[in-house]
Structure 1
Amino acid sequence: MSRNSYQDDLDRLRSDVLTMSDLVCDRLRLALDAFESRDGELAQRVVTGDHEINDQYLDIEGDCIDLLALQQPVASDLRFVVASFKIITDLERIADLATNLAQYTLDADRVRFPEIDAVRIGEATVEMVEDAAVAYAEGDGATPREIAARDDEIDDRCRRANEVVVRNLLSAGVAVDAPESVEPVLADVSRVLLTIRDLERVGDHAVNIAARTLYMVENDDELLY
């Protein structure tokens, strides 16, 4: 394979990763919109569309394997291909979390906690993913560290949200003599806690993407864990 063709393959890999990132972020925003508006039809679109992202993941995974096996890249090219493969793995998992959020919307009768703004937390995590993807596209080694710092705030917001849910549940009490009325409430509370947990995980995956970008650009494993 000529050098030009090899470089074209690397450029196409970068473009495909960014296309997948755009789609994943779009699906996560749709899931957040469905969650906020209790739109079951919109949530179902997210659930049924997950296969499209899975197909993209498998296609890009195959391209990464081909590049590693046939071209045997070294140094910065090797770091780029490996980082791309790791990044699409995180993107695929973010898409799964978006599907989870959509499914919670479909299943929930919705116990509301006005003190918790899960949608704003979710939007902050989407922005982290988008910024991490831009850093990957531009070979930016500075933004990944800033994204990792932002994740500390997401973790803190999720911790406080969990505390609100648990505190409200404890203060409401549980009518053990009427389990038929308690169980639906507990199920919805559980889904709220799962929503918070999954949004926190989106932030973690954004940091993973940032960490792989930093390693790709600077050969620095500071954020890898």
Structure 2
Amino acid sequence: MARTDYQSSLEELRDDVLYMSELVAERLRTGLDALERKDERLAQEVIEGDDEINQMYLELEGECVDLIALQQPVASDLRFIAASFKIITDLERIGDLAVNLGGYTLDAERDLFPDVDMQRIGMTTLDMLEDAMNAYANEDVDACYAVADRDDEVDAMCEAASELVVRDLIESDHLGDEIGDDAEVESLMQDVSRLLLTIRDLERVGDHAVNIAARTLYMAENDDELLY
């Protein structure tokens, strides 16, 4: 492969990773909308779209492997290819978490704990993802650190939301109204469990965004400070 073709392949890989991130971000946004509106059509759209993300992941994985195997890239290019490979793995997993949101939307039977601002948590993690991918696109070191710093904010929001759910469940009449009906109590607890899983999954989206920022920092500066 000529040098110009090789450089074009590297740029094509970057563009493809960015395109995948746009698709994943859109799936996550749709999953959040489905959850807020309790919209089964949107939920099904997210679930059915997972195959497209999985296929894209496999194709980009192949691009990364071919570039390494066939071109024997120098150190900086190798870091870029390796970082891109790790980033598409994080993107694929965020896609899976978006699918979970669709599943929770379809399975939920009641609207519990309206004080839990799931959209605020979700949009914060979506912002982190988009900021991390902008950092990747521009090799922006400062943006990598900014994404990592926001993770504490997301963790705090998720912890507060989980504590609110548990406290309100104990202190409110949710269970008291259902005493004597085992089926209703079981249904209620399943909904509570789904809500806690939703909080956990959104926290994981933030974690994956930090992973992307960490890989980008390593790619740009050969700096593993954010890797863990």
TM-score using structure 2 length:
0.96
SS where residue 205 of structure 2 aligns? helix
What corresponds to 1:202 in structure 2?
A: 205
CA contact (8 A) 1:111 1:185 kept: no
1:85 equivalent to 2:85? Answer yes
Quote the RMSD (CA, aligned, Å): 1.0
Measured after TM superposition, the shift of residue 165 of structure 1 is 0.5
1:169 alignment partner AA: L
For 1:74-153, list aligned pairs within 5 A: 74-153=74-153
For structure 2, the residue ranges without an aligned partner over 5 or more in a row are: none
TM-score using structure 1 length:
0.98
What corresponds to 2:14 in structure 1?
A: 14
**Post-superposition CA distance 1:64-119 (Å, at most 9, x none):** 00001001112110000000000000000000000001100001013321221101
2:187 alignment partner AA: P
Count of equivalent residues? 225
1:154 equivalent to 2:157? Answer no
- Which residue of the other structure, out of 211, 215, 228, is the alignment partner of 1:212? 215
CA contact (8 A) 1:135 1:141 kept: yes
**Structure 2: distance between partners of 1:25 and 1:177:** 44
What corresponds to 1:191 in structure 2?
A: 194
SS where residue 142 of structure 1 aligns? helix
1:24 alignment partner AA: V
- Which 10-residue stretch deviates more, 171-180 or 133-142? 171-180
**Structure 1: distance between partners of 2:220 and 2:125:** 23
Moved over 3 A (4+): 172-177
**Structure 2: distance between partners of 1:36 and 1:178:** 29
Question: Identity percentage over the alignment?
Answer: 62
Measured after TM superposition, the shift of residue 177 of structure 1 is 3.8
**Structure 1: distance between partners of 2:43 and 2:53:** 16
**Post-superposition CA distance 1:10-61 (Å, at most 9, x none):** 0000000000000000000000000000000110000011000000000000
For structure 1, the residue ranges without an aligned partner over 5 or more in a row are: none
**Structure 1: distance between partners of 2:38 and 2:111:** 12
**Structure 2: distance between partners of 1:110 and 1:191:** 11
